[in-house]
Amino acid sequence: MDLQLTELDHPLARHGLAQLRNRATRPQVFRLVTRQLTTLLAIEATRDLRTAKVAIETPLEETQGELLDEDLVLVPILRAGLGMLDSVVQLFPSVTVGYLGLERDEETAQASIYYSKLPEVEGRTVLLVDPMLATGGSASHALADIFAYRPRRVSLLCIVAAPEGVRVINDRFPEVRIFTAALDRELDDRKYILPGLGDFGDRLYGTV
């Protein structure tokens, strides 16, 4: 089956990915590049946001402009998703933010929710951000939680994705648009993405 996702095609994205994959990259650079890639992902994911025409007075005359006319909700998956938070907020200062905490059992690779704090999402556009889409377990749990509140639409933004995880989301949530900076090769027997970039949260916060 064809994978339904958008993969960034930009020199800056490829440059950033090379830095993130490099095991020698320090946490401060890792965080900076994460923000840069998130900005590119958010711009791509919001390309078709609704706008409304408004009259504007320039210093010289009246003209027409367009302003965003869509309520956005941003939901990072804790903890690694917090590294993608600031970039989206800077692009969309009026965005409403919710949080979902999920943890993966290292033995079974199954995810479970330990914290959920969502704002009003009914009828709104939701951006779910999680740096790694591996098995799709965490994203599936998060999406089920979000869809229970009837959003208008949901997009999933991740830095790196595995084909296995993309297929799971495509199958369970075909209406969800997936945006990634890289579609990697596969998962290993421990369900880590290959070639990947290691544990994102550990590298983001220097807890390796």
Q: Is 189 exposed, middle or buried, given 0-12, 13-18 or 19+ CB atoms closer than 10 A? A: exposed
- Asked if residues 128 and 156 have their Cβ atoms less than 8 Å apart, the reply is yes
**Residues designated catalytic:** 104, 108, 199, 202
Euclidean distance between CA atoms 171 and 4, whole angstroms: 10
Euclidean distance between CA atoms 126 and 91, whole angstroms: 15
Look at the chain and count its residues: 208
Alpha-carbon distance values, 60 to 47, 53, 56, 63, 66 (Å): 30, 19, 11, 9, 18
